Chains A and B, each alone.
Chain A
Amino acid sequence: MEQMIKLTIDNKELEVAKGTTILQAAKEIGIEIPTLCYMHLNDMNIEHKPGGCRICVVEVEGRRNLAPSCNSKCEAGMNIKTHSMRVLNARKTVMELMLSDHPFDCLVCAKSGNCDLQTIAQNLGVREIHYKGEQSTYKVDYSPSIIRDMDKCIMCRRCETMCNDVQTVGALSAVNRGFESVVAPAFEMDLQKSTCTYCGQCVAVCPTGALTEKDHTNQLIRDLADPKKTVVVQTAPAVRAALGEEFGMEAGTLVTGKMVAALRNLGFDSVFDTDFAADLTIMEEGTELLGRLSAHLAGDKDVKLPILTSCCPGWVNFFEHHFPEMKEIPSTARSPQQMFGPIAKNYLAKQMGVKREDMIVVSIMPCLAKKYECQRDEFKVDGDPDVNYSISTRELANLIKQANMDFKTLPEEDFDNPLGESTGASVIFGATGGVIEAAARTAYEVYTGKTLEKVDFEALRGMEGIRSAKVDFDGLELNIGIAHGLGNARKLLEEIRDGKSEYHAIEIMACPGGCIGGGGQPLHHGDSSVLKKRAAALYREDEGKAIRKSHENPYIIKLYEEFLGKPCGELSHKLLHTHYFDKQNEIEVE
């Protein structure tokens, strides 16, 4: 049995398990102590407590020094004050010191209003900074997805924990010492040259404006104002389950209709759904899966299994950098974003009578890796990107605020057709396990020729980092693996590399939770219940849909009849599939 100890916090007596930190104990009785460097990701078993910033100090009776509550354990009989005069003064001093070398451009900082450093400084009532520190002037690093402005870094090193421990990418490390220290890629090279996957998880946990996404909203405003341009938009599944949070709505509120209304108000010519393209992805990826599976079962030794999903560009970057020797295993199907682009610019543009160069395709994504993906050369025709650029959920929220819309009271509107119609299968793409469930629904019916009685594959759902399930295809048992978070993906990849993998198909998503936990989503501050609520919202939307299997989407059927021919056919290969590159540094021996 757990040993319990008694102590007093702010005159309240309580009992906690031995080993509990003062911070956790205070939380149990509803006392919030400010923290900056501390980060607790409950579902991922990650507790980052370097104890460096000291903003969380409390007074322990009888002790000379204040104690950092995030990494001090409770002891029996302790009498703790979390907001005595001494504590508040100390926190204020700590904050002033942190701000003494901080650039004073809060008003125009991308993180303003969403910045923990700013909020805590405000709450502490810091009105003056009594210390004048030397200002650091580190070069700002602009990558296609992420901007690093290390002058705003407070060296909490939360980003490092995300990148190294959760994602196992290892792109970031604290370098140099003392005043010169920053968090940077190897040799302080630009992020773009490093092994970064642009998953954006570091951005998602940075408490300051040191790490932010590359903002495309100004570009978008310019394009919307240009009468010569036809601007169409696609919105990813995970956005609708999180956007509301930016407007004070409860996590897990579905705001699909309001989001469509807001986009229309902003002036988009058509508002479409990436879900349509997700249905298309299932047609292509599912056909590829069945093709590889049948060949494998027929004894073709050249056909490799498992097949891995390829709809997450963060994951694609990961294997290109870290497992290039396995780049033939993932499906060649493009991500839904990159399927939507060529369909819009080659099929829809013709229908609308718009020239390719006059059409701007924008995507709203929970994701920062998608920004980079838009720029990949394979996804351009004569220099014109299939998807011009992508905007994160957070950027969309800012844009709606800029346009002065009262989001909560917007009417519910429907997507435009033909690229706005989608099935329940595509909606769940946004949550871990959703892609493979959607694929199973279609692959089952195509493979067996029978109608699926129950479309819900509950065994594939959940939040465990690595999951496996068996799916019965009328006597053929398929082993399905699911991993989210790149650290988990790495484990499955190592199994495959070592010849130990028993899976037929594996779904991989770079972000913990899948896209609902993407690097471009509203910040969840480590609270994984937010992710669960977002996932539940997507499964609710799936359940409410009349059509829940991708191959039954009438507009998908029409698209194949009118334009594409058949899944994995010639035109599909040209427009909807891709190939991968070896991006690992090679050590050449001279």
Chain B
Amino acid sequence: MAKIKLAKDKVEKLIEICKSFNNEGSELINVLHKAQGTFGYLPAEVQEVIARELGVSVAHVYGVVTFYSFFTMVPKGEFPISICMGTACYVRGAEKVLEEFKKQLKVPIGETTEDGKFSISCLRCVGACGLAPVVTIGERTYGRVSAGDVADILKEYRN
């Protein structure tokens, strides 16, 4: 018997969210959406509670969480970096840009730097193909980014 630890107020909040969707298994995606909106991310413990409240298997919850790239199991950084991997961006070198971010921040895709400042994720076309390759950080969008620009961009957020 493994124990799952979660703060009381979080459990209560989750139960409330599930209840607002009548504890319906078919509302899983909406429940997850709301839970992520509340907590910022969906750690294993949160998924366990949701599964129990909605009467669905944890495996199923995890399946849904991993299917939609919108959901994340790790907290996003204070400055979430998204690199567009759509076709236009890809052919114009988005991968090199991504590699440079990974190298400078020393974290893989989907994870957050130890100081909690930055996290890296990839996106499908963000609809700014004219500016490819495109990177967004928080609300800001950067166009025609090259690997050489990465250090300068990060500097803006570093101090």
Contact = CB atoms under 8 A, between A and B. Distances in A.
A188 B58 CA distance: 11
Contacts of A188: 62
A582 B2 CA distance: 10
Given A177-B67, A587-B11, A587-B49, A185 B59 contact: yes
A171 B5 contact: no
Interface string B60-75: 1111001101000000
User: Most B CB atoms within 10 A — which of A170, A171, A581?
Assistant: A170
Interface string A158-180: 00000010000111111111000
Nearest to A174: B63
15 contacts: A164-B57, A170-B60, A174-B63, A186-B57, A186-B59, A187-B44, A187-B62, A195-B58, A581-B1, A585-B3, A586-B2, A586-B3, A587-B4, A588-B5, A590-B7
B111 to A, nearest CB: 16
Contacts of B57: 164, 169-171, 173, 186, 195
Given A176-B67, A177-B67, A194-B59, A186 B8 contact: no
B47 interface: yes
Interface in B19-57: 44-45, 47-49, 52, 56-57
A146 to B, nearest CB: 15
Contact of B59 (A171, A176, A582): A171
B38 to A, nearest CB: 17
A587 B6 contact: yes
Given A173-B62, A175-B59, 18 more contacts: A173-B59, A173-B60, A174-B63, A174-B67, A175-B66, A177-B66, A177-B69, A186-B59, A186-B61, A188-B62, A194-B59, A195-B58, A585-B2, A587-B45, A587-B48, A588-B3, A589-B8, A590-B8
Contacts of A581: 1
A99 interface: no
B11 A584 contact: no
A150 interface: no
A584 B57 CA distance: 13
Nearest to B45: A587
Q: Which 8 A-B pairs have the closest CB atoms?
A: A170-B57, A173-B63, A173-B59, A186-B58, A186-B59, A186-B62, A175-B66, A589-B8
Contacts of B66: 175-177
Nearest to A188: B62
A583 interface: yes
Contact of A175 (B7, B44, B67): B67
A193 B61 CA distance: 17
A231 interface: no
A587 B52 contact: yes
Contacts of B56: 170
Main secondary structure of the interface of B (DSSP, over half): helix
Interface of A: 164, 169-177, 184-188, 193-195, 324, 581-590
A487 to B, nearest CB: 13
B17 to A, nearest CB: 15
Contacts of B45: 587
A324 B63 CA distance: 25
B148 to A, nearest CB: 30
Contacts of B47: 186-187
B49 A175 contact: no
A479 to B, nearest CB: 28
Nearest to B49: A587
Contacts of A195: 57-58
B23 to A, nearest CB: 16
B103 to A, nearest CB: 23
A212 B126 CA distance: 43
Contacts of B7: 589-590
Contacts of A194: 59
Nearest to A583: B1
A575 B29 CA distance: 50
A587 B6 CA distance: 7
A175 B57 CA distance: 13
Interface in B77-109: none
A114 B1 CA distance: 37
Nearest to A587: B4
A590 B6 contact: yes
B5 A170 contact: no
Q: Which of B47, B61, B67 has the most CB of A within 10 A?
A: B67
Nearest to B64: A173
Given A186-B47, A187-B44, A587-B48, A175 B4 contact: no
B144 to A, nearest CB: 28
A184 B1 CA distance: 20
A320 to B, nearest CB: 9
